[in-house]
């Protein structure tokens, strides 16, 4: 599968999910991750959908796969924090929450005008 086909599958899965067809969404994301195991966006979408469906173990497995691909991503660290909090592991939730906060600060330092910082009247 090409990168464009993987992206299309992710977008289709997202649409399916928003339309309430959760199983179709999960099936498409499973196809995407099987065809392209390095597709960060597919793993992250799979984590988020499973999380929203309260399938915490599946959400955690997908989030950990995404994190292994891009540990410095603000959003996957936030997702992991939310999953661990729901699973009742506050120390793990705080670990990933702190990492997300650090990544957010780094982004603000690199892009001060994007966050509204550094803009003067």
CA distance 105 to 37: 30
pLDDT of 25 strictly over 60:
yes
> What pLDDT is recorded for position 119?
46
Contact (Cβ atoms closer than 8 angstroms) between residue 44 and residue 66: yes
pLDDT at 118 over 80: no
User: For the chain, which residues make up each domain, given as ranges?
Assistant: 3-110
Q: Quick: pLDDT tens for 32-82.
A: 999 999 999 999 999 999 999 999 999 999 999 999 999 999 999 999 999
CATH number given to 3-110: 1.25.40.10
What integer pLDDT is reported at residue 121 of this predicted model?
42
């Amino acid at each position: 599968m090409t990168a464009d086909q993987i992206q299309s599958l992710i977008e289709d899965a997202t649409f399916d999910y928003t339309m309430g067809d959760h199983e179709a969404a999960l099936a498409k994301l499973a196809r995407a991750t099987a065809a392209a195991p390095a597709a960060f966006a597919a793993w992250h979408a799979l984590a988020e959908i499973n999380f929203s469906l309260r399938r915490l173990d599946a959400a955690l497995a997908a989030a950990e796969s995404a994190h292994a691909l891009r540990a410095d991503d603000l959003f996957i660290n936030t997702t992991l924090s939310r999953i661990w909090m729901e699973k009742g592991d506050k120390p793990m939730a705080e670990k990933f929450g702190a990492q997300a906060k650090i990544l957010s600060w780094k982004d603000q330092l690199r892009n001060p005008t994007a966050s509204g910082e550094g803009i003067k009247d």
